[in-house]
Structure formats: C-alpha cells, structure tokens
Amino acid sequence: MSHAPNSLAARDVAYAMHPYTNLALHEQRGPTVFTRGEGIYIWDDEGNQYLEGLAGLWCTALGYSEQRLVDAAVKQLGTLPFAHTFAHRSTIPVIELCETLIKIAPGDMGKVFLVNSGSEAVDAAIKMIWYYNNALDRPEKKKIISRKRGYHGVTIAGGSLTAIPLMQNDFDLPLDRFLHTDTPCYYRYGKNGESEEEFATRLADSLNDLIEAEGADTVAAFVAEPVMGAGGVLTPPATYFEKIQKVLDRHDVLMVADEVICGFGRTGNMWGSETYRIKPDIVTCAKQLSSAYLPIAAVMISDPIYQAFVEQSRKLGAYGSGHTYGGHPVSAAVALETLKIYEERDIVGHVREVTPHFQTRLQGLAEHPLVGEARGIGLIGAVEIVADKSSREQFSADVKAGAIVAEKIFEHGLIVRGLPGDAVATCPPLIIDDKQVDELFDKASAVAIT
C-alpha cells in the first residue's frame, strides 16, 4: 500500500518505530492514525469511528472525554508543573495520592513508591525484593518465579518475568534468577477428568516442587497477575490462589500481586487481589490509576518490608533508587482526581451492574464453531480461537488466527486485541453501559469467520 507523500501515514512510516508491530508489514500498510476520542469511542484521521473495546491498552477506564482529569492537569501545570521527590522533597499531589492509595490498597500495605509505568513498577519491585533480602542478610534468596504466559512488562528484569516467547526471543531473556511455573489455564492445560480444584492442587504442588528443587533459601518471590491479561485473559481455576498462598507461606516467599491490568475495578472489585482473595506483600499498579490520561504507576509495599528498607538506608546512607519523573506532580494530580471519580461515581458498583450482561454476551460467542472457550470476569474477557472445537486443537502458529480475527473485527469498527494462544480480548472502558455492551458484541458477532 502506497501513501501520499507527506501524508500522516507516510511520515509515520518514515520516522516512527512502533512497539509490538511487524515492522516489515508496517512499511507496506502504515498506521491507522487516531485523532480524537469521546466517551468510549475513538476516530481516525479519515473520520472512521471505532468502539474502543480494549480501553486503549486495558487502561482508559473513564473513556476519552473526562473533563475533570483535563482540568486537574491544567490546574497543576499552572501551579507547579514539576518537582521531584528525591532527598526529603515532596508535593501536595504526591502526598494526597499516596495517602489515598494506602487507604484503598489490598492487604496490609504501608508505603507507596511512585514510578511511571507498569514495567517500571515491576522492575522497581524486583529491586526491592533483592534489597529486602540483602537487608535481612539472606544474600542467596534472590530467585523470582512467574507463570508461563504471564505478562509483567518489557524492561530487562520485568521482561524476564514475562514468559511469552515473542517478548523474550532474541532479547537474550530471561536473565538468571528468574524461573517460570505452570500456566493456570484449566481449559488448555487441565487433564481429562480433572476438576478445577484438582488442577489447582496440581499447579500448587508443581510450584512447591520447583521451590524445593531450587532450595527455598534461594527463592525470594512469586509474581502473578490476578487475571493474566496479555497472556490470553486467563482467569485462575477455583481455589488456585488459596493453594498457591499456602505454598508461599510455607517457604517464606513473598507474594507480589501485579495489578497493572486488574487494579481499580476491572474485575468487579477495586483490586483483583480482593476478587481472588490474594494476600500480597507487594502490589504493582498503573494503567487505570490515571485512566491513562498521564503516565503514572506505583509499587505498594507492606510495612515489614519498608522497615527493613529503613534500617538498610540508615546503613547505606539512602535508599539508592528513584526516577526523575516518579511522582511527577501533574501525573499525581490526575491520578488523585481519577480515584476521586471512581469513589464519587461508584465505578466499581457500575462494573458490577454491567458485568452480568457483558459476561452473558461474551458467553454467547462460545456458540461459534471456531470459539473453543469464552472466558472472563468483570469487564474483561476473551475468546480462544480453535481449529477444532471438540478436540480443542489449535491452528498452527504461523496462521495467526487470533490476529486475523482481531483485524476482521477492527474492520467492523471495534477495537479488540489478538493475544498469544489465539485469544481475542476485550476490556472496554469501565463507563460502558448495557446498550454499548450490546453494540460491542453485535459488532464482534457480525464478523464472518470461516
């Protein structure tokens, strides 16, 4: 496909390198250039309207025209556009945001460390885990376990936890100290005759065996998304986290809840940890923290971990890590206003009201002969595309069945995402209503898949 000289598409191809994109194909087809958004809809530079069925990248919870967030940014830009939080300095938005996060945090969190993205939050958590064990004089207890198909960002350390081949191949990942255990997908990996609870027991036993084989004195933490997002919207089998938690407690291994996608109402509770009764020692969050209007993320840690940091900083002179834009006052102000809106409008309550209809329509897609499973919780879901429904046989990887389906749906004015395992995911803004849910699934159902 050729593009008019000096067109937006031509200029993009000439100068921009895109993430998670087939770069060779992009040179031929170029980009879809989005120019404006309103509510749950977004428009391209040719005037085409799309229902944003993935909330950007699982993040624009309040849609595209929330004026209060714009006003919060403008006000802070006009008051104090930047100040850092190094060396005993702070700002009003940072103080109020951290206070609010701790009040609503899952588990027993004590302190908030602000960064700029989910990947940074995971990376910061990894450094904290290593720092913590050094503070406790446990220099060998440094290995970190994630799950196959788990997604935890793309920094060098976070990318080592992200056990998805595309995101590690030829990047020389994973690094040492990073281990991977079973994917908790009952549909794909459960054995014939095995109940969900039995599957969960098997996976917990497998994790226990891995820790014991490595040596519990070398394993520091287990990192998990409550719902595995980019890995295919994989919801855990019944009793899974309860059984995993017992294994971690037995071996004194920290539980890190990666709430980057699930946090702030997506699963029908403020946190996925609440939905699945996870007891985290560390929580990472981002995305819906500011409804994606500005980059911001956070790591929340329990007080025992923080107290170990206090003693270590006394010994070393400071906690020697931070980011120039971590705790940026404008981003913090927007995040704080986002949390106020969630509370004032009872966004979590709205998610619970809309969820039954959303999940019913999602399950309706399971009737299609190429859909092996429809799965989800709250306002997040996916269908898994299969070559044979009865045997669950998948298409060969080179077919890219999930990506093809997502592209066909896009042509009908609906944005979804093809994921590993040929899953096609939807995760709309949390403000979606029942009528818009019907519009979303009507568009998805209108696609001819043969």
Strand-pair category, 49-52 with 41-44: antiparallel
Q: Which range has the worst mean pLDDT, 65-79, 270-284, 434-448?
A: 434-448
**How many angstroms separate the CA atoms of 374 and 392, rounded?**
13
Q: Residue 153: which region, alpha, beta or left (left: phi > 0; alpha: psi -120 to 50)?
A: left
All CATH 3.40.640.10 domain ranges of the chain, comma separated, are: 69-344
All CATH 3.90.1150.10 domain ranges of the chain, comma separated, are: 32-65+346-445
Q: Give residue 446's pLDDT band: very low, low, confident or very high (50, 70, 90).
A: confident
Strand partners, 258: 284
pLDDT, one tens digit per residue, over 258-294 is 999 999 999 999 999 999 999 999 999 999 999 999 9
Q: Which range has the worst mean pLDDT, 23-32, 188-197, 338-347?
A: 23-32
pLDDT, one tens digit per residue, over 120-146 is 999 999 999 999 999 999 999 999 999
**How many angstroms separate the CA atoms of 153 and 417, rounded?**
17
Per DSSP, the residues of 95-124 read HHHHHHHHHH-SSSEEEEEEESSHHHHHHH
Six token digits for residue 273: 């940890």
Q: Tell me the pLDDT of the chain averaged across its residues.
A: 96
pLDDT of residue 87: 95
Q: Which fold has domain 32-65+346-445?
A: Aspartate Aminotransferase, domain 1 (3.90.1150)
The answer to whether 394 touches 232, Cβ cutoff 8 Å, is no
- Does the domain at residues 69-344 carry the CATH identifier 3.40.640.10? yes
pLDDT of residue 166: 87
Which pTM value belongs to this model?
Answer: 0.95
